[in-house]
């Protein structure tokens, strides 16, 4: 990291979320997700209702519960992406987790409350990064001064050598000039390869696990957390290059300037008021008990999820977290089961149900070209790093989308994820050769697409393995 450099990448200024209507929220989601208007409208209304709730008086706001959503649709149609983009738009703590990872209390595996602890960790990291950005400039200045002291450590002794005021003044001026010269060289990167010795904290403390009432949970607890006075804050000296040292010192100065107690308080408020939990594969735990086999705890997991969704208090290392106003978005394919197979109490906590649209060939064309993170833009940018100008003709894009639709129909339908496998197979040769290609301009047309993928598409047995 070079000090005092800022990221000047052009970035569109997004309107203040408090001022955005549901229609404008949908327009923001349209920049990244193609189609799925019903799902976008549902999440936009849910997000807007949160903003409306914040404007109510505290007594009424406490009574307004979030309207949780179930998205019903096969994999690859945009369920997760909609939820993730919504969380980024709202700057909310967001966690995606598969419901099938949880087990009923009493079974070996993760307990449901751990997802709230994970969400809290994400929120703490979010707030800490925001605070770090606020003190970054000050931390960089402090780190620079410390590094200059390390590069010229005899400054203080030099000042005490003479009692003559005039000589001392001259020496002080010379030291100042030398320091400024070093500063300029440091900022210009001319000292990056020099070695300095800095003190770093000793991290050799033993760790252990805590067995809670909910099961075994990895808490990353160390003896130092319990007995700080016994272990103290031991340090050791470590040599490193100047460019590595400046990064380390900036991080150290940031940690000194950030009040972690305040960070934890803000993170708790953010989780409780604007946290979003995305429960994927909710259909995998739907259904009644079969009485045997590995799925014996499915209904038990539903009953464990229920109090979290209804509103309960979860203990975390940062304090107690109330889940009453966390927004839960569940998703599942529901090929075998259906939402009505969930226990009635859990069904009642997900009042909004949205069926996702199956992606068509036209949707694939739009997915390849339109979103900010469109696949064609990604591959063009990747190969541009090696001086290759990659261009796709319109008929090639249509052909890629057509092949993706055919493979989804004849094999397992994995939605837009099929485009990733198609694109990798299509550009394998170009990606492998890279900068050694004789021509730096590569045009992908329908003939090239047919040449690379035609035989694979026609041979269904082969396409099942490759695409």
Domain with 438 in it: what CATH number?
Answer: 1.10.8.60
Which H or E element spans position 441?
A: strand 441-444
Question: Could you give the angle at the alpha carbon of 99 between the alpha carbons of 98 and 105, nearest 5°?
Answer: 130
| 399 and 461, same domain (yes or no) | yes
pLDDT 10s digits, 277-332: 999 888 888 865 554 444 446 788 888 888 999 989 999 999 899 999 999 999 98
111 touches 214 (CB < 8 A): yes
The model's pTM:
0.77
* Residue 9 to residue 399: CA distance in whole angstroms: 34
Domain, as residue range, for 390? 361-466
Q: Residue 166 has which token pair? A: 């005039």
Residue 280 lies in a domain: yes
Identify the domain boundary among 308, 325, 355. Answer: 355
Closest C-alpha among 414, 392, 395 to residue 467: 414
Instruction: With respect to residue 10, please indicate whether it lies within any of the assigned structural domains.
Output: no
Nearest-CA neighbor of 143 among 240, 246, 238?
Answer: 246
The rounded distance, in Å, linking the Cα atoms of 286 and 283 is: 5
pLDDT per position as a tens digit, 164-212: 677 777 777 777 788 888 888 888 888 888 888 888 877 654 544 444 4
Per-residue confidence band for 455, with pLDDT thresholds at 50, 70 and 90? confident
For the chain, the distance separating the N- and C-terminal CA atoms, rounded to the nearest angstrom, is 41
Specify whether the CB–CB gap between 334 and 283 falls below 8 A: yes
- Number of CB atoms found within 10 A of residue 201's CB: 10
> Tens digits of per-residue pLDDT, 258-277?
999 999 999 999 999 989 99
Domains in the chain: how many in total? Answer: 3
Residue 380 contacts residue 397 (beta carbons within 8 Å) = no
Where does a domain end: 247, 265, 283?
Answer: 265
How far apart CA 396 and CA 379 sit, in angstroms, is 15
CA angle, 141 as apex, 138 and 146 as ends, to 5°?
A: 125
Q: 292: which 2 tokens?
A: 């045997």
């Amino acid at each position: 990291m070079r000090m005092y450099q800022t990221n000047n990448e052009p970035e569109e200024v997004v309107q203040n979320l408090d001022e955005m209507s549901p229609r404008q929220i949908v327009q923001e989601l349209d920049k990244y997700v193609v189609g799925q208007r019903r799902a976008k409208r549902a999440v936009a209304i849910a997000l807007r209702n949160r903003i409306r709730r914040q404007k109510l008086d505290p007594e009424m706001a406490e009574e307004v519960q979030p309207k949780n959503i179930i998205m019903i649709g096969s994999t690859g149609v945009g369920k997760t992406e909609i939820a993730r983009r919504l969380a980024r738009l709202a700057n909310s703590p967001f966690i995606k987790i598969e419901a099938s990872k949880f087990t009923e209390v009493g079974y070996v595996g993760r307990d449901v409350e751990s997802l709230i602890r994970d969400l809290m960790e994400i929120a703490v990291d979010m707030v800490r990064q925001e605070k770090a950005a606020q003190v970054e400039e000050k931390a960089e200045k402090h780190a620079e001064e410390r590094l200059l002291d390390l590069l010229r450590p005899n400054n203080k002794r030099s000042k005490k050598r003479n009692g003559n005021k005039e000589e001392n003044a001259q020496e002080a001026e010379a030291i100042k000039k030398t320091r400024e010269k070093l500063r300029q060289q440091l900022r210009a990167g001319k000292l990056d390869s020099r070695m300095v010795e800095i003190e770093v904290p000793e991290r050799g403390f033993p760790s252990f696990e805590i067995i809670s009432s909910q099961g075994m949970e990895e808490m990353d607890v160390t003896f130092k957390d319990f007995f700080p006075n016994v272990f103290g804050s031991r340090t050791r000296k470590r040599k490193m290059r100047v460019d590595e040292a400046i990064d380390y010192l900036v991080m150290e100065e940031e940690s000194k300037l950030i009040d972690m107690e305040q960070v934890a308080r803000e993170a708790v408020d953010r989780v409780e008021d604007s946290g979003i939990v995305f429960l994927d594969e909710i259909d995998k735990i739907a259904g009644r008990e079969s009485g045997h086999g590995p799925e014996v705890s499915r209904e038990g997991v539903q009953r464990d999820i229920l109090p979290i969704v209804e509103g309960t208090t979860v203990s975390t290392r940062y304090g107690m977290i109330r889940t009453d106003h966390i927004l839960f978005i569940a998703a599942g394919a529901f090929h075998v089961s259906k939402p009505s197979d969930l226990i009635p109490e859990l069904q009642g906590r997900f009042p909004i149900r949205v069926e996702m649209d199956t992606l068509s060939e036209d949707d694939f064309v739009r997915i390849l070209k339109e979103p900010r993170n469109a696949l064609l833009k990604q591959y063009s940018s990747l190969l541009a790093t090696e001086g290759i100008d990659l261009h796709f003709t319109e008929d090639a894009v249509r052909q890629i989308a057509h092949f993706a639709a055919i493979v989804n129909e004849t094999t397992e339908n994995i939605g837009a994820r099929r485009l990733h496998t198609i694109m990798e197979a299509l550009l394998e040769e170009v990606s492998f050769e890279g900068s050694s290609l004789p021509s730096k301009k590569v045009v992908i047309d329908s003939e090239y697409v047919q040449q690379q993928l035609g035989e694979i598409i026609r041979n269904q047995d082969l396409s099942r393995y490759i695409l």
